[in-house]
Amino acid sequence: MMSVSVELKSFNRAVEDLRAAVRSLHGRYGDVPAVSRLRNDLERLEIDVRDLAALPILRSGTATVEMQQLTDEPYDTAMWAEDADDEGLGGYRGTSR
């Protein structure tokens, strides 16, 4: 099992504090839109921190990132068949609609 970084441990503590505060707000105000949004934001934070915790870590403590080389070659025109949408150029021009 990978060890969790100091930053993630600190973040998890902050999320626990936020969770307690949001529970308190929910108890006081109920399911009003503002509290619902806060609950949703908290859930998204938890998802993001789980994603960060799952990143492979190098010994240096930095996440590995695979770099993709992009060429300057033109795109294959077959990718843009008849059904392509000319975004920003007047809308859909394909024949299948």
pLDDT digits (tens, 9 = 90+) for 1-35: 345 578 888 988 999 999 999 999 999 999 999 99
Is 85 a domain residue?
no
**Does 72 reside within a domain?**
no
Max mean pLDDT among 39-48, 64-73, 88-97 falls in 39-48
Predicted local confidence at residue 37, as pLDDT: 96
The total of structural domains in the chain comes to 1
Is 91 part of any domain?
A: no
Give 8 or 45, the one with higher predicted confidence.
Answer: 45
Q: For the stretch 38-59, what's the b/e string if a residue is b when 16 or more beta carbons lie within 10 angstroms of its beta carbon? A: bbeebeeeeeebeeeeeeeeee
Within-domain flag for 61: no
Helices (H), the chain: 6-29, 33-53
Q: Which residue range forms the structural domain that includes residue 25?
A: 6-53
